[in-house]
Amino acid sequence: MHQFCVSLDADENGSHIVHLDGCPGWPALKFTRLLGLYEYCDEALRAARMFFGQVDGCSQCIPQCHAQFQISELVSQAEP
Ligand SMILES: [Zn+2]
């Protein structure tokens, strides 16, 4: 199980970012709400949605839970 938190401040897309413990982008504690211990990031995102309508996974620590459009941007950049 891993500790997750969600940022109280929304990013430029209006999303509150969920982080995994140990992430270099983990915000200062006063800017976060701890979500508790979860095995998978999608469970942590579900918990974060109880506090904020729009949440997203951090691209650094839980890229598997990061918004799909970011991934498709990377894919399109890789095309010739
Ligand atoms: Zn993170």
Domain count, the chain: 1
Identify the domain containing residue 44 by its residue range: 2-78
Ligand 1 centroid from CA 4, angstroms: 9
Q: CA 12 from chain center: how many Å?
A: 14
What is residue 49's predicted lDDT score, i.e. its pLDDT?
Answer: 94
Ligand 1 centroid from CA 63, angstroms: 9
Q: Is the overall model pTM greater than 0.75, yes or no?
A: yes
What is residue 67's predicted lDDT score, i.e. its pLDDT?
Answer: 85
How far lies 64's CA from each of 29, 67, 80, in Å?
A: 24, 9, 25
Average pLDDT of the residues of the chain: 87
CB-based neighbours (< 5 A) of ligand 1, an ion: 19, 23, 25, 58, 60-61
Ligand 1 centroid from CA 9, angstroms: 14
Ligand 1 centroid from CA 1, angstroms: 16
